Structure 1
Amino acid sequence: MIRLDGVTKAFPVYTKKGFLRRDRSVVTAVAEMSFEVGAGEFVGYLGPNGAGKSTTIKMLTGILTASSGEVRVAGLDPARRRTELARRIGVVFGQRTTLWWDLPLRDSFALIRHLYKVDEGRFRSRLGELTELLELGPFLATPVRQLSLGQRMRGDLTAALLHSPELLVLDEPTIGLDVVSKATVRDFLARINAEEGTTVLLTTHDLGDIERLCRRVMVIDHGRLAFDGTLDALRATAPADRTLVVDLASAAPAPVPPPGIRLIKREGPRMWLAIPPDVNAASVVASVAGAHDVVDIALREPDIEDVVTRLYSRGPALDG
């Protein structure tokens, strides 16, 4: 569905020097990027601000042309066949809407139907299906400007999927959403991927989205692919501390962590211990249980955010 082969995107930057002179330099946003995404995959595309994520998405959708290398989406060159590609993909930008601000949501969908030349019967069927899945019914007659952020995002997802695209590109789709709205959006995305086989490329800073939705993760840093693999493989590549949460029978006396184990914090009878990746967790649990009167104990694997942070800290252009 997606193929990048040695893709580089560079931008000229002009800096004022003196009254009439400007110096020209070149900034490389994406450097020698190569990867493939198969049909039906759900892929997370991660990276810090300025890493090159948005530039990649703009090349995939035909907004930008690569400086060098080859880009193919659904077998098409996005820059040369942008109109044809638009009928086969859907795009959602979390911080920008594709809906008409002053129109009722239903009218926005009707206009989008005409833009994509969707047959009216197919449109009605598809809109009814998406309305039910995303619980849009109560506010179809509401102007977009009066919708909450969560309602508008569900509207944008519907707009992107009305023409049944093969590929859905999502840029921060859950940014600013409350817990309930996030859960609705995540459940919906998992469903269309599983039931309709829609390929999904997701960029997000909410790593909860990645953990709940993506079977594959790509990490980009300084314009280069730093990692490409499963979540488990990512955790193994940049291992982070696990957390042991211990509930003691009483708050006193202050417990002494086993050698090599760090006390993160303590609140009354509960304490949090950091277990390094190279330390056997079972031995730590046995040591703590043997030395203290323990009521409950739980081991938490590292958050994906901690793992990605450690990966970034190693520097650019890491091999995954």
Structure 2
Amino acid sequence: MNINRPGRSGAFGGRAAGQAEGGITAENLTKVFHVSARRPGRFSAVRSLISPQRVARTAVDGVSFQIQPGELVAFLGPNGAGKSTTIKMLTGILTPSSGRVEVNGLVPHRERIANARRVGAVFGQRSQLWWDLPARDSLSVLADIHGVGPELFRERVAAFDRILELSAFWDTRARQLSLGQRVRCDLAAALIHDPAVLYLDEPTIGMDVVVKEQVREFLRDQVENRGRTVVLTTHDMTEVERLAERVILINHGQIVYDGDLSTLRRNHSDTDEPDGNADLEDVMRRAFGRQASELLGERAESESSTRLGGTGERAGAQNADKPQAAMSS
């Protein structure tokens, strides 16, 4: 993807000179968790309680990559591969056990507040909206938290509205929004302070095709016209094909591929298929074998259908967590 984006102007812009805005660097990033192991034999629960035995489990093992400003990168892998742990280290939620990470020229876990003001995030069923407030009021509160003035706030919301059509429902309380409406509001909430980097975890899961395309158009606009860096995790390979030119695959805590989609297809395509024309889901099945069903969300989609229970998008919204409000708090 072309990373020489046009400069920001109008409602979006104003980067301080000398900052590496939008760049992400990870070098030998490692995260080890120490968990309690249950002992075998009689009274094992009591013995584990009195004298717990701790074992080390490596979730991320020496991960290295670099993302340039203005790139949209799909970060893919099966469940338990280390995706979420890596993203949490990039956002500053987790501290790495070893290695180096830098986002926007900052070390996220050491400069959490400064980092939070320069990144945005939309994570699955978590929401930044206040449940009993109209969506527009939630955006206004977040703008105040981030120090966005009234005029700039109106300009940015108007820019979001042109593609996401927020004005059709932004006077509705968050608890009454459908899943697709809530996620569109969450995208606006994550970008109201004009961050250089946006992290997205399954942004279109459970949406109908029309709303999915709206969100994809919005993300393309943010990357191509705003120069924003986007890191996307998803089980939807159609989303990957339409949005990303670069893919990072992680498995067992290690990077197994980092490159463009066409090369990935050539490396894992059937000999009968022309280079670059292989179906992406088939490519992932060849690359990950038995774990491909988790990567492609075959279990997740089944669970999502059960959770929605035939009540449409709104059922998904009712199950969302309480507001995460400001990452900077």
TM-score (ref. length: structure 2)? 0.76
The structure with more radius of gyration: 1
CA distance, structure 1, for counterparts of residue 25 and residue 256 of structure 2: 17
Out of 296, 301, 307, the position equivalent to 2:277 is 301
Count, aligned residues: 260
Residue 23 (structure 1) shift:
2.1
Q: Which moved more, 1:17-26 or 1:149-158?
A: 17-26
Out of 97, 103, 123, the position equivalent to 1:67 is 97
Q: Secondary structure at the match of 2:238?
A: helix
Residues 224-248 of structure 1 deviation map (CA, whole Å, 9 limit, x = unaligned)? 0010000000111111xxxxxxxxx
CA, structure 1 residues 11+133, in 2 after alignment: closer, same or farther (shift >3 Å)?
same
Residue 20 of structure 1 is matched in structure 2 by 47
**Residue identity in the other structure for 1:306:** D
**Residue identity in the other structure for 2:63:** M
Q: Does 1:229 align with 2:256?
A: no
Residues 34-80 of structure 1 deviation map (CA, whole Å, 9 limit, x = unaligned)? 00000011100000100010001100000000000001001100001
Residue 192 of structure 2 is matched in structure 1 by 162
| Sequence identity percentage | 50
Higher helix share: 2
CA distance, structure 2, for counterparts of residue 278 and residue 306 of structure 1: 13
Residues 278-313 of structure 1 deviation map (CA, whole Å, 9 limit, x = unaligned)? 2477xxxxxxxxxxxxxxxxxx93321111121113
Residue 221 (structure 1) shift:
0.5
Residue 140 (structure 1) shift:
1.1
Residue 42 of structure 1 is matched in structure 2 by 72
CA distance, structure 2, for counterparts of residue 204 and residue 102 of structure 1: 29
**Residue identity in the other structure for 1:305:** E
Residue 150 (structure 1) shift:
0.5
Residue 138 (structure 1) shift:
1.4
Residues 236-283 of structure 1 deviation map (CA, whole Å, 9 limit, x = unaligned)? 1111xxxxxxxxxxxxxxxxxxxxxxxxxxxxxxxxxxxxx32477xx
Out of 67, 88, 91, the position equivalent to 1:58 is 88
CA, structure 1 residues 306+120, in 2 after alignment: closer, same or farther (shift >3 Å)?
same
Q: Any conservation in 1 of the 2:60–2:253 contact (CA below 8 Å)?
A: yes
Q: Does 1:96 align with 2:118?
A: no
Residue 301 of structure 2 is matched in structure 1 by none
Residue 146 (structure 1) shift:
0.5
TM-score (ref. length: structure 1)? 0.79
Q: Does 1:10 align with 2:32?
A: yes
Residue 110 of structure 2 is matched in structure 1 by 80
The correspondence of residues 103-142 of structure 1 with structure 2, limited to 5 A, is: 103-142=133-172
Higher strand share: 1
Any stretches of 5+ residues in structure 2 without a counterpart? Answer: 1-22, 292-329
Q: Which structure would you say has the larger RCO, counting Cα contacts within 8 Å and 6 or more residues apart?
A: 2
CA distance, structure 1, for counterparts of residue 88 and residue 203 of structure 2: 16
Out of 186, 191, 213, the position equivalent to 2:243 is 213
Q: CA-atom RMSD, angstroms?
A: 1.6
